């Protein structure tokens, strides 16, 4: 029995393998084929086969993206879940980081020695556009008659953050510039580019203040991790990456009653994960971060929710290069959702996989420029209410 400050587990849990498909729009592979491609890569990375896997965790965002209901059952064979204890978890955009969290409790509880964690999304199938899927997330009496869409809500939130923190569009655009540049070194990237702040400001206005290059693209893709108990991890690798803390939380769905300038749902999830990891000062104890960045302002928003910067401090640190890959606290060294792409559930798991590769010094040209011992990945979803956080160390 391993005791932690706020939880008791039967075994430490490590990540021992990771895999990812290309992130692209209109991929020809079926969702099952995407899931299997990522799963096979993760198994190969760990030096294992499906016979070595005890349990499977699958993550996918709304069924409507793929147009297949009961998506967990549909993806079971592509994810290696047939005739094994298999479960699908789902918290909207937060799913990608919730997948390794769910896999963690399967192992930490002693139920499974090894878990294959797979996240897949094929958004290109949604008609007439993936935004249409979100027409069904609103309260049918209070909200749906107004015909809202998520872009409108994000525009409100971005505007509130700009007003509260006195941040310019030019500063926020620096996130998109940084992440798309970082993604030039990611072999799976869909939207890598060398762009300027002017490119972002001059791109099409979707809903002011949101321009097209403020937003991550529509994507298809899959990612996977292999998790193992301490004994199993030490048997299969000399360089396990330990899951030191996990956290998740839900705010309520009444987004219109919230302070939109600060993500409390992230802060609460981060506090849970940091407490488990024994982290008291995250801005000092975390070496790099993969905050969730479907929009450029959300990276700054989430950096503050993760307590890696004080409220309204992230824009200033961004301007000073603090979050560059060579900076004091690199953020989204992978290129993030803005650069690598945003197949929703797979995008979050891509961020967890980036922790694995960075902490094993296997990130190639993406490797951050300082020694790394601990990283944090985070995702966010449902009706702007779910926060999911995982801390890993080497």
Do 319 and 391 contact (CB within 8 A), yes or no?
A: no
Interhelix angle 150-165/169-182, nearest 10 degrees: 120
The pLDDT of residue 124 is above 70: yes
- Which residue would you say has higher pLDDT here, 68 or 179? 179
Question: Domain limits of the chain?
Answer: 13-128+216-393
Confidence bin at 7 (pLDDT 50/70/90): low
Residues contacting 267, CB < 8 A, separation 6+: 305, 306, 307, 387
Q: Where are the alpha helices (DSSP H) in 254-343?
A: 264-277, 282-285, 296-305, 314-319, 336-339
> Is the pTM here over 0.75, yes or no?
yes
Would you state the pLDDT for residue 11? 87
Q: What is the pLDDT of residues 227-248, one digit of tens each?
A: 999 999 999 999 999 999 999 9
Bond preceding residue 89 cis, omega within 30 of 0:
no
Confidence bin at 126 (pLDDT 50/70/90): confident
Do 307 and 283 contact (CB within 8 A), yes or no?
A: yes
For residue 375 the two structure tokens come to 């990283």
Rounded CA-CA distance 215/298 in Å is 10
Residues contacting 3, CB < 8 A, separation 6+: none
- Which residue would you say has higher pLDDT here, 4 or 320? 320
Q: What is the pLDDT of residues 146-162, one digit of tens each?
A: 888 888 889 999 999 99
CATH of 13-128+216-393, one of 3.40.640.10, 3.90.1150.10, 3.40.50.2300, 3.40.47.10: 3.40.47.10
């Amino acid at each position: 029995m391993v005791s932690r400050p706020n939880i008791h587990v039967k075994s430490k849990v490590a990540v021992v393998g990771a895999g990812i498909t290309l992130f692209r729009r209109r991929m020809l592979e079926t969702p099952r084929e995407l899931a299997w491609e990522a799963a096979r890569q993760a198994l190969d990375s760990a030096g294992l086969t499906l016979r070595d896997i005890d349990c499977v965790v699958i993550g996918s965002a709304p069924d409507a993206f793929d147009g297949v209901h009961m998506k967990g059952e549909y993806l079971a064979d592509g994810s290696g879940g047939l005739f094994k204890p298999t479960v699908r978890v789902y918290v909207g955009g937060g799913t990608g980081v919730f997948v390794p969290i769910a896999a963690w409790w399967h192992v930490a509880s002693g139920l499974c020695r090894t878990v294959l964690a797979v996240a897949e999304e094929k958004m290109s199938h949604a008609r007439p556009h993936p935004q249409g899927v979100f027409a069904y997330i609103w309260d049918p009496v209070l909200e749906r008659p107004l015909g809202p869409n998520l872009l409108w809500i994000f525009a409100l939130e971005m505007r509130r953050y700009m007003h509260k923190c006195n941040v310019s569009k030019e500063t926020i655009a620096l996130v998109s510039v940084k992440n798309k540049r970082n993604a030039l070194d990611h072999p799976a990237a869909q939207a890598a580019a060398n762009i300027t702040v002017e490119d972002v400001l001059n791109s099409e206005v979707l809903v002011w203040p949101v321009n097209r290059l403020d937003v991550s693209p529509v994507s298809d893709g899959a990612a996977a991790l292999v998790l193992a108990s301490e004994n199993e991890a030490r048997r299969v690798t000399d360089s396990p990456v330990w899951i030191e803390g996990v956290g998740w939380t839900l705010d309520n769905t009444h987004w219109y009653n919230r302070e939109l300038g600060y993500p409390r749902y992230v802060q609460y999830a981060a506090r849970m994960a940091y407490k488990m990891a024994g982290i008291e000062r995250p801005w000092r104890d975390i070496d790099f971060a993969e905050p969730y960045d479907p929009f450029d302002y959300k990276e700054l928003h989430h950096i503050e929710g993760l307590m890696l910067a004080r409220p309204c401090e992230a824009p200033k640190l961004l301007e000073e290069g603090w979050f560059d890959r060579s900076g004091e606290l690199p953020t989204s060294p992978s290129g993030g959702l803005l650069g690598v792409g945003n197949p929703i559930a797979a995008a979050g798991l891509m961020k967890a996989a980036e922790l694995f590769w960075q902490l094993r010094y296997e990130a190639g040209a993406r490797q951050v420029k300082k020694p790394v011992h601990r990283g944090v990945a985070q995702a966010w979803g449902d009706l702007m209410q779910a926060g999911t956080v995982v801390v890993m160390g080497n």
